[in-house]
């Protein structure tokens, strides 16, 4: 039975808004450049559990292909989960009918990485935002207009731009439009999938500040997905690190960045460059050998054993569970029991 400290912890916490239990998303597929006859399964997300408290920002980090985006899509049932539960205020989203799901979808909104692809090029800003209000049957025409103008002001866009099309805006402005669209229906929970990764650093900082201000203003809860550890440290209260479809470590942000436990977390953190030459001089990098194995062919035992520099015999036999090592700090590694 897969049961870990994280799940148990969440159970006693009253203020948990979202709880993910043993979530798995598997895709039937065919590995590229292999014979047609050899069909296999990609285990993109393979047993992920975590919970998010109300008003918290949980950062979900990992390298490409680790399954972090798939987790976010499975939460919203954009991709149906293979197994597992997603409990939003105690209700299992995976078991609901589409009709029952809709009111909850209003409360869980999403913003995406690419502000060019996530806005319909043939709809004006106004139409884009109004669409959401129509779907959720919020307000009359006039009220809608006021609400949209107010929302544009909240994200620092001039309401005069409401009749323009996405191509007339810069990347940063488009991301503001995406945020306005997500927030117009007054959600409680925001899934942000790499929301600042496509932006230059000076604009990225504007959007990060905006997201932080809005979180406070509307008492929002964020699941913030990113590959950029510096951004995640900056914005998150708690951080979960994923590797090849599983969470390897989860803890409070400062604990995780000051005292990482899992060998993968240690290597990952040591690899991030810091803009300070004096500091860089004294830093020791843990250079991982090799690359992330294919998700078609996940190693037996611990899935990090092909690259781990602390591997032991047991790591090839048994997959480590995510276990609480210290209070509020869990890791999935045989080094810690």
Partner 1 sequence: MNGDVILDIQGLHTSFSMTRGTVRAVNDVSFNIKSGEMLGVVGESGCGKSVTGLSIMRLVPYPGRITGGRILFENRDLLGLDEREMRTIRGSSIAMIFQDPMTSLNPVLTISRQLTEAIIEHEGCSKREAGVRAIDLLRTVGISSPERRIRDYPHQFSGGMRQRVMIAMAISCGPKIIIADEPTTALDVTIQAQILELMKKICEDIGTSIMLITHDLGIVAGLCRVVAVMYAGRLVETAEGKTIFSGPVHPYTHGLLTSTPRMDRVSERLQPIGGVPPSLLDPPRRCMFAPRCRYAIERCLREEPVLEEVSPGHAAACFRSGEKLW
DSSP three-state, residue 142: helix
Q: How many residues bind partner 1 (CB under 8 A)?
A: 45
Count of Cβ atoms closer than 10 Å to residue 322 Cβ = 26
Q: Is 92 in the site for partner 1 (CB under 8 A)?
A: no
Query: Of 212, 237, 255, 306, which lies in the binding site for partner 1, with binding defined by CB under 8 A?
Result: 212
Q: What Cα–Cα distance (Å) separates residue 228 from each residue in 165, 202, 224, 263? A: 30, 15, 11, 18
Alpha helices in 83-170 (DSSP H): 98-107, 125-135, 141-154
Q: Which is nearer to partner 1, 88 or 224 (CB)?
A: 224
Q: Which residues contact 316 (CB under 8 A, 6 or more apart)?
A: 300, 301, 302, 305
Query: Of 22, 63, 114, 321, which lies in the binding site for partner 1, with binding defined by CB under 8 A?
Result: 63
Across the beta sheet with 246-252, the strand order is 108-111, 189-193, 221-226, 57-61, 238-243, 246-252, 329-331, 323-326
Binding mask 26-45 for partner 1 (x = CB under 8 A): -------x------------
Asked if 190 contacts 122 with a C-beta cutoff of 8 angstroms, the reply is no
Q: Is 97 in the site for partner 1 (CB under 8 A)?
A: no
Q: Which is nearer to partner 1, 37 or 202 (CB)?
A: 202
Phi-psi region of 2 (alpha: psi -120 to 50; beta: other; left: phi over 0): beta
Give the DSSP letter of residue 336.
Answer: G
In whole angstroms, the minimum distance from the beta carbon of 143 to partner 1 comes to 32
Q: Is 116 in the site for partner 1 (CB under 8 A)?
A: no
Binding mask 285-324 for partner 1 (x = CB under 8 A): x-xx--xx--------------------------------
Q: Is 227 in the site for partner 1 (CB under 8 A)?
A: yes
Tokens of 295: 């998700």
Q: Which is nearer to partner 1, 307 or 329 (CB)?
A: 307
Interacting residues with partner 1 between 154 and 183 (CB under 8 A): 170, 172-173
Q: Which is nearer to partner 1, 82 or 306 (CB)?
A: 306
d(CA 122, CA 284): 51
Query: Of 168, 209, 300, 312, which lies in the binding site for partner 1, with binding defined by CB under 8 A?
Result: 209
By CB under 8 A, name the binding residues for partner 1. Answer: 33, 63-64, 170, 172-173, 200-206, 208-209, 212, 227, 229-231, 233-235, 254, 257, 267-280, 283, 285, 287-288, 291-292
């Amino acid at each position: 039975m897969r049961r870990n400290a994280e799940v148990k912890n969440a159970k006693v916490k009253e203020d948990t808004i979202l709880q993910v239990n043993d979530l798995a998303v598997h895709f039937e597929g065919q590995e590229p450049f292999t014979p047609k006859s050899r069909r296999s399964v990609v285990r993109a997300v393979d047993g992920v559990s975590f919970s998010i408290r109300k008003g918290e920002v949980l950062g979900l980090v990992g390298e490409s292909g680790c399954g972090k985006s798939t987790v976010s899509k499975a939460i919203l049932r954009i991709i149906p989960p293979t197994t597992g539960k997603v409990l939003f205020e105690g209700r299992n989203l995976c078991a609901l009918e589409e009709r029952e799901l809709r009111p909850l979808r209003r409360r869980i909104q999403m913003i995406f990485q690419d502000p060019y692809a996530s806005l319909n090029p043939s709809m004006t800003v106004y139409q884009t935002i109004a669409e959401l209000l129509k779907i959720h049957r919020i307000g009359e025409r006039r009220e809608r207009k006021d609400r949209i103008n107010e929302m544009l002001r909240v994200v620092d866009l001039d309401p005069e731009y409401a009749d323009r099309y996405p191509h007339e805006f810069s990347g940063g402005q488009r991301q503001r439009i995406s945020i306005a669209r997500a927030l117009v229906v007054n959600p409680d929970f925001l899934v942000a999938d790499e929301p600042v990764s496509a932006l230059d650093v000076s604009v990225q900082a504007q959007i990060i500040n905006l997201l932080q201000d809005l979180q406070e203003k509307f008492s929002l809860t964020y699941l913030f997905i990113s590959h950029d550890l510096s951004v995640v440290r900056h914005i998150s209260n708690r951080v979960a690190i994923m590797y090849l479809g599983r969470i390897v470590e989860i803890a409070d942000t400062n604990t995780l960045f000051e005292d990482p436990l899992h060998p993968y977390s240690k290597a990952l953190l040591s690899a991030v460059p810091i803009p300070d030459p004096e500091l860089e001089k004294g830093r020791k990098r843990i250079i991982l050998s090799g690359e992330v194995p294919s998700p078609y062919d996940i190693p037996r035992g611990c899935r990090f054993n092909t690259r781990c520099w602390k591997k032991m015999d047991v790591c090839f036999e048994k997959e480590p569970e995510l276990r609480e090592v210290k209070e509020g700090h869990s890791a999935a590694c045989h080094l810690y029991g």
